[in-house]
Structure 1
Amino acid sequence: MTKRTSAKYKIDRRMGENIWGRPKSPVNKREYGPGQHGQRRKNKLSDFGTQLRAKQKLKGYYGDLTEKQFRRIYAEAERLKGDTGEMLVGLLERRLDAIVYRAKFVPTIFAARQFVNHGHVLVNGKRVNIASYRVREGDVVEVKQTSKQLAIVLEAVGLAERDVPDYIEVDHSKMTATFTRTPGLSDIPYAVQMEPNLVVEFYAQN
Structure 2
Amino acid sequence: MTKRAESKYKIDRRLNVNLWGRPKSPLNKREYGPGQHGQRRKKPSDFGLQLMAKQRLKGYYGNIGERQFRRLYEEAARRRGDTGEQLVGLLERRLDAVVYRAKFVPTVFAARQFVNHGHVKVNGKRVNIPSYQVKEGDIVEVKDRSKQLTTVLEAAASNERDVPDYIEADHKGMRAKFVRVPALADVPYPVQMEPHLVVEFYSR
**Contact 1:123–1:140 (8 Å) recurs in 2:** yes
Q: Figure out how many residues of one structure are paired with residues of the other and give that number.
A: 202
> Deviation digits for residues 81-104 of structure 1, max 9, x if unmatched?
000000000000000000000000
Amino acid at match of 2:18: N
Partner of 2:30: 30
SS at structure 2 position matched to 1:170: strand
2:141, 2:127 → 1: CA distance?
10
Gaps of 5+ in 1: none
1:191, 1:117 → 2: CA distance?
26
Amino acid at match of 2:97: A
SS at structure 2 position matched to 1:38: coil
1:168, 1:161 → 2: CA distance?
17
SS at structure 1 position matched to 2:169: strand
**Contact 1:15–1:33 (8 Å) recurs in 2:** yes
Instruction: Report sequence identity in percent.
Output: 74
Q: Classify 1:160/1:4 alpha carbon distance in 2 versus 1 (closer, same or farther; 3 Å).
A: farther
Moved more, 90-99 or 154-163: 154-163
1:95, 1:142 → 2: CA distance?
14
**Contact 1:59–1:70 (8 Å) recurs in 2:** yes
Partner of 2:86: 87
Cα distance, 1:7 vs. partner? 2.0
Partner of 1:155: 154
SS at structure 2 position matched to 1:74: helix
1:12, 1:4 → 2: CA distance?
14
2:128, 2:42 → 1: CA distance?
43
Cα distance, 1:4 vs. partner? 5.6
Gaps of 5+ in 2: none
Cα distance, 1:28 vs. partner? 0.6
Partner of 1:78: 77
SS at structure 2 position matched to 1:192: coil
Amino acid at match of 1:39: Q
Extract structure 1 runs of 4+ deviating beyond 6 A.
Answer: none
SS at structure 1 position matched to 2:39: helix
Cα distance, 1:155 vs. partner? 1.1
Partner of 1:135: 134
2:125, 2:48 → 1: CA distance?
43
What's the TM-score, normalizing by structure 1? 0.96
Cα distance, 1:26 vs. partner? 0.4
SS at structure 1 position matched to 2:110: helix
**Contact 1:9–1:25 (8 Å) recurs in 2:** yes
**Pairing of 1:21-60 with structure 2 (within 5 A):** 21-40=21-40, 42-60=41-59
**Pairing of 1:92-111 with structure 2 (within 5 A):** 92-111=91-110
